[in-house]
């Protein structure tokens, strides 16, 4: 009996050690961005397409105040309430002292400068597909924005979701280097895929999730319950959105549907961002959505 108990204890310790190793933060190679210099003007376009301000400006900000990324907006979910942090260039309360490498690890790997897993309320599973040059340009642009001395507020997440190491296990299940839509035969669809699946992270809202909060990519962009528990977010697949490509592109520019209804909720901020992009980008998104299979069935 004592021998059997010893074997069980050793096996449990070995499993715990293996789990600890497997769930460790996976940082980018230190030299990956070495020598790269960003272009703030190009970074502004990335910033706009990614909708960074829509989550990170103060809750009641308007107009130019939206460029002060002091954080504070609250995002309610079944796992707790996540509060957007200060990502202004302030050296104490923002990210001004991070440096490019730490910023890239946060954006593309969901790892903080201190080596902790970030919660996937920050859509790094989408940003993991960003081009290195876009990450560098975005960093260069963020450093030009106003600094804010508003401290970041803590997330309101209870046990067991407050165990950061558990996020490492979540990443093993849901972080992927692959694209959802594999077949993109031309440059327009490739650009649309990059905008939808990476920068604009459309799937974060428009794709259903499983019990662990991971995106069900087999039902990609087919619609989902609102994370705050109120209402649903519409599907964007051709069987659920029967607008033609021109109507989709126009909606992303103006916020008006073919029936002269207007965007509401968080889509107001999305349209505000997309209206600032080139017409070719809105057309690329429309082409991508029209290329999706009915029902978002990606299996």
Q: Compute the distance between CA of residue 116 and CA of residue 110 in angstroms, rounded to an integer.
A: 8
Contact 140, 40 (CB under 8 A): yes
Residues 157 and 200 in one domain: no
Residue 159 has pLDDT above 60, yes or no: yes
- Are 194 and 148 in a shared domain? no
Higher pLDDT, 51 or 23: 51
Domain boundary among 174, 197, 231: 174
Residues 149, 53 share a domain:
yes
- 55 and 167 assigned to the same domain: yes
**Full residue range of the structural domain in which residue 122 is found:** 40-174
Residue 265 predicted with pLDDT over 60: yes
Residue 289 has a pLDDT of 97
Q: pLDDT > 90: what percent of the chain?
A: 76
Confidence band for 202, pLDDT divided at 50, 70 and 90: very high
Convert the chain into a string of H (helix), E (strand) and C (coil): CHHHHHHHHHHHHHHHHHHHHHCCCCCCCCCCCCCCCCCHHHHHHHHHHHCHHHHHCCCCCCHHHHHCCCCCCEEEECCEEEECCCCCCCCCCCCCCCCHHHHHHHHHHCECCCCCECCCCCCHHHHCCCCHHHHHHHHHHHCCCCCCCCCCCCCECCCCCCCHHHHHHHHHHHCCCCCCCCCCCCHHHHHHHHHHHHHCCCHHHHCCECCCCCECCCECCCCEECCCCCCEECCCCCCCCCCCHHHHHHHHHHCECCCCCECCCCHHHHHHHHCCCCHHHHHHHHHHHHHCCHHHECC
What is the arithmetic mean of pLDDT over 185-204?
A: 97
State whether residue 81 is helix, strand or coil.
Answer: strand
Render pLDDT for 50-89 as a digit per residue (tens, 0 to 9).
999 999 999 999 899 999 999 999 999 989 999 999 999 9
Whether 203 and 89 map to the same domain: the answer is: no
**For residue 22, what pLDDT is reported?**
62
259 and 217 housed in the same domain: yes
Q: What is the CATH number of the domain that holds 224?
A: 1.10.760
Same domain? For 119 and 160 the reply is yes
- pTM score of the predicted model: 0.91
* Segment 28-49 mean pLDDT: 94
Whether 194 and 162 map to the same domain: the answer is no
Q: Is the pLDDT of residue 149 over 70?
A: yes
Q: pLDDT digits over 100-121, tens only?
A: 999 999 999 999 999 999 999 9
User: Confidence class of residue 1 from pLDDT cuts 50, 70 and 90?
Assistant: low
Q: What is the pLDDT of residue 82?
A: 96
Q: Is the pLDDT of residue 97 over 90?
A: yes
Could you tell me if residue 211 is inside a domain? yes
Q: How many domains does the chain have?
A: 2
């Amino acid at each position: 009996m004592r021998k059997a108990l010893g074997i069980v204890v050793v096996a449990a310790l070995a499993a715990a050690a293996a789990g600890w190793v497997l769930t460790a933060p996976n940082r980018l190679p230190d030299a990956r961005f070495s020598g790269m210099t960003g272009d703030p003007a190009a970074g502004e376009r990335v910033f706009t397409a990614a909708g960074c301000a829509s989550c990170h400006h103060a809750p009641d900000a308007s107009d130019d105040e939206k460029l002060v990324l002091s954080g504070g907006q609250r995002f309610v979910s079944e796992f707790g309430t996540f509060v957007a942090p200060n990502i202004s260039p302030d050296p104490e309360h923002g990210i001004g002292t991070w440096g490019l490498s730490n910023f890239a690890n946060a954006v593309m790997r969901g790892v903080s400068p201190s080596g902790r897993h970030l919660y996937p309320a920050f859509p790094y599973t989408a940003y993991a597909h960003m081009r290195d040059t876009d990450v560098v340009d975005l960093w260069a642009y963020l450093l030009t924005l106003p600094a804010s001395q508003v401290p970041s507020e803590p997330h309101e997440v209870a046990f067991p979701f407050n165990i950061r190491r558990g996020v490492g296990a979540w990443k093993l299940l849901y972080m992927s280097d692959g694209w959802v839509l594999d077949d993109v035969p031309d440059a327009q669809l490739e650009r649309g895929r990059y905008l939808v699946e990476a920068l604009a992270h459309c799937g974060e809202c428009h794709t259903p999730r499983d019990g662990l909060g991971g995106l069900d990519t087999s039902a990609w962009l087919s619609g989902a319950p609102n994370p705050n528990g109120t209402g649903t977010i519409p599907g964007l697949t051709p069987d659920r959105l029967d607008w033609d490509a021109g109507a989709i592109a126009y909606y992303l520019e103006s916020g008006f549907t073919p029936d002269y209804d207007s965007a509401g909720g968080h889509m107001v901020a999305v349209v505000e961002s997309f209206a600032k992009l080139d017409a070719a980008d809105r057309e690329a998104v429309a082409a991508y959505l029209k290329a999706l299979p009915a029902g978002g069935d990606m299996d």
